[in-house]
Amino acid sequence: MDIVEKVLEGGRMSREEALELYDMDLFVLGEMADGIRRRMYGKKSFFNINRHINPTNICKDICKFCAYSASRKNPNRYTMSHEEILSIASSAYERGAKEVHIVSAHNPNVGIEWYMGAFRKIKETLPQLHIKALTAAEINFLAESENIGYDDVIDMMIENGVDSMPGGGAEIFDEEVRDFICKGKVSSQGWLEIHRKWHERGRMSNATMLFGHIERREHRIDHMLRLRELQDETGGFNAFIPLVYQRENNFLKVEEFPTAQEILKTYAISRIVLDNIPHIKAYWATSTIGLALLAQEFGADDLDGTIEKESIQSAAGARSASGMSVEEFSKLIKNSGFIPVERDSLYNELRVYDQSQSEDSIGNF
């Protein structure tokens, strides 16, 4: 049985087969991935109304790909007060946000109560607002700095109102690459163990993969397969998010960047290989909105959200600093031939927008 036939019949890709997918014609690959996507969601493209909050950029670690943390490339150090964080969350909630996405640097000066206190204040004031917070890298940092276990940090998160975990900090699981680009950060096994523990408590999370820097294709496949294995065990991942490396204002000397074809292939392969993770998110903040919309034809079914304000990716060159309005977001999705579906953080559908466009007229880029 060849790979195309195996994909069409719903077969699971081996490591060798998954790597071989990269050598296939882009449009054949896209057609296979789109077929899977259509069977699952038709022409729906999901997004949420959310607000990213990045409370501090002071970090003990120096990841070579990072332009956000305060360093020689970014000397403007800041740490928000709980009142500032709550004010941002409250304003976003008043404008319709259903989620706050709170991630930041590994600040050694504030202590774990600064992190937990911020979540507690938001949940006490805005109990209906979903808090997505703390990457596995941040949890590892807090556990090490407080000399406590992962379980202790995770239990504190739940007690203080955190509803789900983002997928950041995964980067690339290959430890040799990891040692070069983010030495001192959570290990790949640590990242997976933290998400396993979160899932064991009945909570959901996302998973990411940073690609387009010094990693090779086989590293991406290895990354996906490790996630697939954990998902087989726990079923706790909502979405997989391939993050396109942002090239500006950092210390990682990358000469060749992935082409649009390589990015689209990676989205398509993600959909084919990760047969047990429900959603593939083309995070527009790293891929650009145009490519994220095109990725909806290559297996992706989600674009993240309106964001409002974003500091981490935009510091490295992404055009996401000011987010996007709901009206603009839904219009772009519809004009690209898809059905905009507003979702909550756990992918429950909240609003399905105008479906007047016919299936026959969509998808022609």
Q: Are 343 and 46 in contact (CB under 8 A)?
A: yes
| Distance (Å, whole) CA 331 – CA 209 | 28
Q: Are 169 and 200 in contact (CB under 8 A)?
A: no
- Answer yes or no: is 271 within a domain: yes
Mean pLDDT throughout 210-236? 96
**78 pLDDT more than 80:** yes
Question: Angle at Cα 354 formed by Cα 349 and Cα 357, nearest 5°?
Answer: 120
**223 pLDDT more than 80:** yes
Percent of the chain predicted with pLDDT > 70 = 85
**233 pLDDT more than 90:** yes
Counting every residue written for the chain, the total comes to 365
Q: Are 362 and 337 in contact (CB under 8 A)?
A: yes
pLDDT of residue 87: 97
Average predicted confidence (pLDDT) for the chain: 88
pLDDT of residue 248: 54
Categorize the per-residue pLDDT at 325 as very low, low, confident or very high, splitting at 50, 70 and 90.
confident
**320 pLDDT more than 90:** no
- Of 104, 92, 96, 120, the C-alpha closest to 59 is 104
The total number of structural domains in the chain stands at: 1
Categorize the per-residue pLDDT at 285 as very low, low, confident or very high, splitting at 50, 70 and 90.
confident
- Residue 58 tokens read as 């002071």
**262 pLDDT more than 70:** yes
- Buried b or exposed e, range 293-320, using 16+ CB within 10 angstroms: bbbbbbbbbbbbbbbbebbbbbbbebeb
- 287-315 pLDDT, tens digit per residue, is 788 899 999 999 999 998 886 654 444 34
Percent of the chain predicted with pLDDT > 90 = 70
Instruction: Determine the structural domain holding residue 129 and report its residue range.
Output: 12-344
Task: Output the CA–CA distances (angstroms, integers) from residue 213 to 9, 51, 250, in the order listed.
Answer: 34, 28, 12
- Answer yes or no: is 35 within a domain: yes
- Residue 92 tokens read as 């976003």
pLDDT of residue 65: 54
pLDDT of residue 184: 82
| Distance (Å, whole) CA 11 – CA 31 | 16
- Buried b or exposed e, range 188-208, using 16+ CB within 10 angstroms: bebbbbbbebbbeeebbbbbb
Categorize the per-residue pLDDT at 132 as very low, low, confident or very high, splitting at 50, 70 and 90.
very high
Categorize the per-residue pLDDT at 357 as very low, low, confident or very high, splitting at 50, 70 and 90.
very low
pLDDT of residue 245: 82
**268 pLDDT more than 70:** yes
Residue of higher predicted confidence among 127 and 305: 127
Q: Are 299 and 267 in contact (CB under 8 A)?
A: yes
Task: Classify 339 as helix, strand or coil.
Answer: strand
- Residue 48 tokens read as 């949420």
- 39-67 pLDDT, tens digit per residue, is 999 999 999 999 999 999 888 767 555 65
Q: Of 72-81, 181-190, 351-360, which has the strongest mean pLDDT?
A: 181-190
**149 pLDDT more than 80:** yes
Report CA torsion sign: 209, 210, 211, 214.
negative
Residue of higher predicted confidence among 59 and 101: 101
- Answer yes or no: is 212 within a domain: yes
Residue of higher predicted confidence among 287 and 243: 243
- Answer yes or no: is 283 within a domain: yes
| Distance (Å, whole) CA 334 – CA 133 | 30
- Answer yes or no: is 72 within a domain: yes
pLDDT of residue 305: 84
- Residue 258 tokens read as 């992935």
**363 pLDDT more than 50:** no
- Answer yes or no: is 365 within a domain: no
pLDDT of residue 314: 38
pLDDT of residue 97: 93
- Answer yes or no: is 364 within a domain: no
pLDDT of residue 322: 55
- Answer yes or no: is 360 within a domain: no
CATH number of the CATH domain containing 73 = 3.20.20.70
